[in-house]
Amino acid sequence: MDYTKDFLWKENLTVSELLEGYGKIGFQSYELKRASDLLVKMKKEGAKVYFSFTSNMVTSGLRGFFAQLIEKKMCDVIVTTVGSIEEDIMKADGDKFILGSFSSNDEELYERGENRVGNILITNDQYQKLEAKIKNLLLEVYKEKKSLTISELLREIGLKLNDPSSILYQAAINNVPVFCPAITDGSFGFHLYLFKEEHKDFNVDIINDFRNIIFSTSHDEKKGIVALGGGVSKHHIILTTLINGGADYALYMTTASPRSGSLSGATTDEAKSWGKIKDNSDAVTVIGDVTITFPIAMVSALDTLKKEGVL
């Protein structure tokens, strides 16, 4: 039996020491410590880790951290939304997003050509620059290959970015496939359509990419899930594990509530009713802003893995 323990500050407190204290506080602090321990366990036990995240996390400053995790072999398969692709390309091209306010005057932002994502601003000029960049990248790929899946397309683009802080670049050079099932749900998809109109022999195959993710593992392989946020990216990794016998480890981090019945708010316990996660799996759900919870849990996990000589 374990007990709560008062948290106390001390000088030069490390992230790992902070999280150790969290493990005795209770509530979400306790779950966050469990999440960090689970990240360590997945790595040490050789699980194939499916990592999903929504585009708002790439809008934020987590983009470079995700790229670093790919480089450090902390994930094996990535599934994300199209905004992640767009904003990874934008940042690889030198764009910087403005830190604003949740209480900004949105009418004034519109007049200035600034688009708000929470308290982060992206300008119309940056999107116009992206459109030209996408067209050039597609043209470069087209000259080399006329037919490919979405994940193959993203790999080719990643190789052309040459930015160590880029998710696509690190995924490409480390042979980590990036799947984006809803590729048309954004500016990138619209420009794919326009490019196809001008180049009728250019074919991007979404269905074969669905096959690729479904058969990226097997019943016998140990499988881990790290799902940040929800939506289509989360669903594709848990569908993959469902078809292949269920995940052995699962970490969900979300701000969504299970009360709505949405996939984004569904907990790891609910996933067991579908067979997405095995009954005896190690599973943790952390409720809270991922820009706060994930760096703390992962940095502590990396510290532990480094000390134990795993990294």
- List residues with catalytic annotation: 276
Q: Residue 183: in which H helix or E strand, if any?
A: none
Q: Residue 260: in which H helix or E strand, if any?
A: none
Which one-letter amino acid corresponds to residue 278? K
Q: Residue 270: in which H helix or E strand, if any?
A: helix 268-274
The whole-angstrom separation of Cα 65 and Cα 72 is 10
State the burial class of residue 237 (Cβ atoms within 10 Å of its Cβ: 0-12, 13-18, 19+): buried
The whole-angstrom separation of Cα 220 and Cα 203 is 34
* 8-state DSSP, 258: G
State the burial class of residue 108 (Cβ atoms within 10 Å of its Cβ: 0-12, 13-18, 19+): exposed
CA torsion sign for 261, 262, 265, 268 is: positive
Q: Is 247 helix (H, G, I), strand (E, B) or coil?
A: strand
Question: Tokens 């004034």 belong to which residue?
Answer: 108
Q: How far is CA 156 from the centre of its chain?
A: 19
